[in-house]
C-alpha cells in the first residue's frame, strides 16, 4: 500500500500545491485562466502528439477495449441522470450535467500522469486512442441532449458540433500524431526538442492548474447529487471496465490498466465548463469535480492495487 501511495502522491501533491497557491493568493484567477489556455491550446496537444508519434501501433485493437470503457460509461451516465431526476428532483438540464459529470473523466490532468507512471510507454497508444474517441462522444452526447430540448435547428446543432470538434486542440494534436505515424515521421532535431520541452510542461502544469481550478470553482451546491456522481465515477465505472477488460476479454495488462484507470478518474473540468456555458447544473458540475477529485486519491490507490501495480 505504501508503494501505491508513493506512486500517486506526486500527482495529488501538485494539485494540493496549486490549491494552496490560490488559497494564499500567490496565484490568482488570471493566472489560472492563462495556464488553462496554454495547456488547452499548446501543452496538452504537444503531449498527445508526442505520445502518438512515439507509440507502436498494434495491428488490431480489440473491441473489448472500447466495450470495457463505454459499457461502463453508458451505465453511469444513465444512472446519474436517473438519480438526479427521480431521487433529487432535478430539471432536465441539470440531469444532463449530472450524466456528463459521471461520464466525463479528468483524463488529461490526472489520468495521463497516473497511467504513465504505472505502465510507462506501453500505455501511450491506448491512452491516445481513448482520448481521441472519448472527447467527441461525450461532448456530442451532452450537446445533443441539451440543444435538442431548445430551439436550435438540427442543422444548427450539426454545424456547431462539426466546427467545435474540427477545431478542438486536443483532437488536432492527436490527428497530427496519427498523420505523422502514417507518413513515417518522428520529430527529431530542434523540432523534436521543442516538442519534448512543451510536452514536459504539460503534466505538472495541468496538476497545479487543477488545484487552482478547484479553489476557483469550489463546492457550490448539490452535494448529495455530487456524492452520487462521485461514487459512479470512481468506483462503478472502473468496476465494470475491469470485469469486461480482464475476465471477459483478457486484454494485455497495459490496455486493461489504461481502461480501468481512465474509468477511475474524477469528474473532468470539461463538465464544469460545459455547465457554465449553458447555465445549467453549474453547482452539480463544480461540486462533483471537487468531491470526486478529493476522493480519487483513495480510489486511485484501490484500483492500482486491484490491477497489481506497485
pLDDT digits (tens, 9 = 90+) for 130-151: 877 777 678 778 777 776 555 5
pLDDT at 239 over 90: yes
User: Where residue 260 falls among pLDDT bands split at 50, 70, 90?
Assistant: very high
Which of 78-92, 127-141, 293-307 has the lowest average pLDDT? 127-141
Instruction: Give the span between the Cα atoms of 121 and 173, in whole angstroms.
Output: 18
DSSP letter for each residue of 132-195: HHHHHHHHHHHHHHHHTTSS--HHHHHHHHHHHHHT-HHHHHHHHHHHHHHHT----HHHHHHH
Q: Do the beta carbons of residue 113 and residue 11 sit within 8 Å?
A: yes
Provide the whole-model pTM: 0.78
Q: Say what the pLDDT of residue 41 is.
A: 84
For residue 76, the model assigns a pLDDT of 97
Judged by average pLDDT, the poorest of 195-199, 216-220, 226-230, 236-240 is: 216-220
Q: Which residues of 16-48 are buried (b: 16+ CB within 10 A; e: fewer)?
A: bbbbebbeeeebeeebbeebbebbbeebbbbbb
In this structure, of 66-75, 76-85, 105-114, 223-232, the range with the lowest mean pLDDT score is: 105-114
Give the span between the Cα atoms of 270 and 285, in whole angstroms.
9
Band (161; pLDDT cuts 50, 70, 90): low
Q: What mean pLDDT is reported for the chain?
A: 83
154 has a pLDDT exceeding 60: no
Q: What pLDDT score does 2 carry?
A: 53
Q: What residues does 38 pair with on adjacent strands?
A: none
pLDDT(226) > 60? yes
Output 177 or 3, whichever has higher pLDDT: 177
**Following CA atoms 8, 9, 14, 19 in sequence, which dihedral angle do they give, to the nearest 10 degrees?**
110
Q: Are 207 and 55 in contact (CB under 8 A)?
A: no
In angstroms, the CA 42 to CA 28 distance is 21
Backbone angles phi, psi at 27, to 5 degrees: -130, 135
The pLDDT value recorded for residue 141 is: 80
pLDDT at residue 124, as a whole number: 79
- State residue 157's pLDDT score: 61
Are 153 and 77 a contacting pair, CB within 8 Å?
Answer: no
Tell me the HSE value of 158 on the side-chain side, using a 13 A CA sphere.
3
8 A C-beta contact, residue 284 and residue 121: no
Residue 70: count of CB within 10 angstroms of its CB: 21
Amino acid at each position: 500500500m505504501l508503494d501505491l501511495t508513493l506512486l500517486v502522491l506526486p500527482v495529488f501533491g501538485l494539485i494540493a500545491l496549486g490549491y494552496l497557491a490560490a488559497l494564499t493568493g500567490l496565484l490568482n484567477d488570471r493566472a489560472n485562466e492563462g495556464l488553462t489556455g496554454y495547456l488547452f491550446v499548446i501543452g496538452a496537444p504537444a503531449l498527445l502528439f508526442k505520445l502518438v508519434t512515439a507509440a507502436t501501433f498494434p495491428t488490431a485493437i480489440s473491441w473489448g477495449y472500447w466495450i470495457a470503457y463505454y459499457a461502463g460509461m453508458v451505465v453511469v451516465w444513465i444512472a446519474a441522470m436517473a438519480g438526479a431526476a427521480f431521487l433529487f428532483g432535478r430539471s432536465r438540464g441539470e440531469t444532463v450535467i449530472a450524466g456528463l459529470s459521471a461520464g466525463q473523466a479528468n483524463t488529461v490532468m490526472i489520468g495521463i500522469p497516473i497511467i504513465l507512471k504505472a505502465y510507462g510507454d506501453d500505455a501511450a497508444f491506448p491512452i491516445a486512442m481513448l482520448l481521441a474517441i472519448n472527447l467527441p462522444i461525450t461532448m456530442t452526447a451532452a450537446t445533443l441532449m441539451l440543444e435538442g430540448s431548445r430551439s436550435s435547428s438540427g442543422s444548427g446543432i450539426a454545424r456547431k458540433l462539426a466546427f467545435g470538434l474540427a477545431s478542438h486542440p486536443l483532437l488536432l494534436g492527436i490527428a497530427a500524431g496519427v498523420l505523422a505515424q502514417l507518413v513515417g515521421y518522428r520529430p527529431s532535431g530542434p523540432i523534436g526538442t521543442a516538442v519534448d520541452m512543451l510536452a514536459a510542461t504539460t503534466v505538472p502544469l495541468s496538476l497545479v492548474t487543477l488545484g487552482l481550478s478547484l479553489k476557483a470553482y469550489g463546492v457550490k451546491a448539490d452535494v448529495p447529487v455530487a456524492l452520487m456522481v462521485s461514487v459512479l465515477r470512481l468506483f462503478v465505472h472502473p468496476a465494470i471496465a475491469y470485469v469486461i477488460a480482464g475476465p471477459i476479454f483478457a486484454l494485455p495488462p497495459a490496455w486493461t490498466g489504461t481502461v480501468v484507470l481512465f474509468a477511475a478518474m474524477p469528474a473532468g473540468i470539461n463538465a464544469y465548463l460545459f455547465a457554465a456555458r449553458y447555465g445549467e447544473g453549474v453547482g452539480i458540475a463544480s461540486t462533483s469535480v471537487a468531491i470526486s477529485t478529493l476522493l480519487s486519491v483513495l480510489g486511485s490507490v484501490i484500483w492500482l492495487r486491484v490491477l497489481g501495480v506497485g
